[in-house]
Amino acid sequence: MSDTLQIQLNDTSLESIVEKVANQQRLTKEDGMLLFETQDLWTVCSLADSVRKRMHGDIAYYNINRHINYSNVCALSCKFCDFHRKKNQEGAYQHSLDDIEKEAHTALESGATEIHIVGGLHPWLPFEYYTDMLQTIRAIAPDIHLKAFTAVEIVHFAKISKRGRDGKAGISSVLEDLIASGLGSLPGGGAEVFDERVHDEVFKGKIGGEKWLDVHRCAHELGINSNATMLYGHVESRADRIKHMMVLREEQDRAEQSSTDGRFQTMIPLPFIPGVSELAHLPGPSGVENLRTIAVSRLMLDNVPHIKAFWIMQTIQMAQHMLQCGANDIDGTVVWYDITKVTTETTHQECTTEDLKRAIRDAGCTPVERDTLYRRVHRKGTAWSIETRPITSNI
């Protein structure tokens, strides 16, 4: 039994990690590997839970949001992707600005505080489609936070608007235009796993880790926050996952040491879902592996405030377990989500606020509605206001 954390160890090789966690010391790459390899999953999850409690007490977050996946037409064909279609392929779609306008009205009427927008790398839509999209929503719903476009899409926009896809100046210039049109923050998608072998094997053609980090660095320098993801459970190794987490941790350190205002807010480990992708022959990660990956993320990423169990991909039941293994957020009402489908055949994937709150309470936490920037939302039906101060986390 550890003196400090009262955890019953089944694997004594974890003793030094328990001491480090108790003393809030940073874990090493080797510690991360041990957390992935040990059979003592109970200790790994208990340690992550202790860190989550120290940082956030008994609070777990949800939000009222809507996702818009504006088009599934994509110039690339990443092997793990079950979402993309070629232009004339069955199932290909592209939302018009009228469709977007309707979605903005629905979001407004439903009391959403956030619209999350991502799509494929459409070969023919001009850059103005994206700025018009943001401006259209902004005109209808000026208070709703627009979290939009993965780093991959931002690099694509730099290319189609002829600002060059390689230089940081082009990326910054695209981001400045998007921010002027209403962009509030960047989602964390498209990071996959920061490893060249994995990149070449399953998402060749898509930007690699360096470029993904460049985009987020530019966003942070322009003063907006972003999230980070890691797609795991396909052809990557556990060592690749640890390397990915270490790179994110270093980047967050760098942002904190610089004078930039933007930061990574949330890490979202995303389990690979085979679907009908080119990697459909792979089984995807098991439930236990999902729990462990959330827990290790919480323990390794000591400078990222929030760990999200994205219920759409983890299921609401697994997200509840994850709230006891390091996660402190389960995402929101979502409504329509086209990228993956786990428990339904359709893209209507909605959780009511009552379902979200009950799931959080049943997991032993207190549900708090947040906005995109983790500020408390005060709500009366569909009317809401935001406490201007962020709810602090102890990191």
Residues near ligand SF4, by CB under 6 A: 74, 76-78, 81, 83-84, 120-121, 152, 206
Nearer to ligand SF4, 52 or 122 (CB): 122
Which residue, 85 or 358, has its beta carbon nearer to ligand SF4? Answer: 85
With contact defined as beta carbons under 8 Å apart, do 151 and 190 qualify? yes
Residue 276 or 383: the one with the smaller Cβ distance to ligand SF4 is 276
All residues at 6 or more sequence positions from 113 whose CB lies less than 8 Å from its CB, including other chains: 63, 64, 65, 143, 144, 145, 371, 372, 377, 384, 386
Closest CA to 35 of 303, 295, 382: 295
CB of 120 to ligand SF4, least distance (A): 4
| Closer residue to ligand SF4 in complex, CB, 338/371 | 338
- Residue 311 CB, nearest distance to ligand SF4 (Å)? 20
Q: How many CA atoms lie within 13 A of 189 on its CB side?
A: 18
Instruction: From 331, 299, 392, 319, select the one nearest 362 (Cα to Cα).
Output: 319
Token duo for residue 394: 């102890």
Query: Which 3 state secondary structure label does DSSP give 103?
Result: helix
Closest CB 277 distance from ligand SF4, rounded Å: 9
- Return d(Cα 183, Cα 168) in angstroms, integer: 18
Query: Distance between CA 2 and CA 8 in Å, rounded?
Result: 7
Shortest Cβ distance from residue 190 to ligand SF4 (Å)? 7
Question: In the complex with ligand SF4, which residue's Cβ is closer, 167 or 205?
Answer: 205
Nearer to ligand SF4, 83 or 264 (CB): 83
Which of residues 145 and 206 has its CB atom nearest to ligand SF4 in the complex? Answer: 206
Instruction: Output the smallest distance, CB 206 to ligand SF4, in A.
Output: 5
Shortest distance, CB of residue 96 to ligand SF4, whole angstroms? Answer: 19
Pure H helices in 9-123: 15-22, 29-37, 41-56, 97-110
Of 141 and 231, which CB lies nearer to ligand SF4 in the complex structure? 231
Instruction: Give the shortest CB-81-to-ligand SF4 separation in angstroms.
Output: 3
Dihedrals φ, ψ of 80, to 5°?
A: -85, -5
The backbone region for 334, taken as left when phi is positive above 0, alpha when psi lies in -120 to 50, beta otherwise, is left
User: How near is the Cβ of 94 to ligand SF4 at its closest, in Å?
Assistant: 13
Task: State the Cα–Cα distance between residues 347 and 307, nearest whole angstrom.
Answer: 25
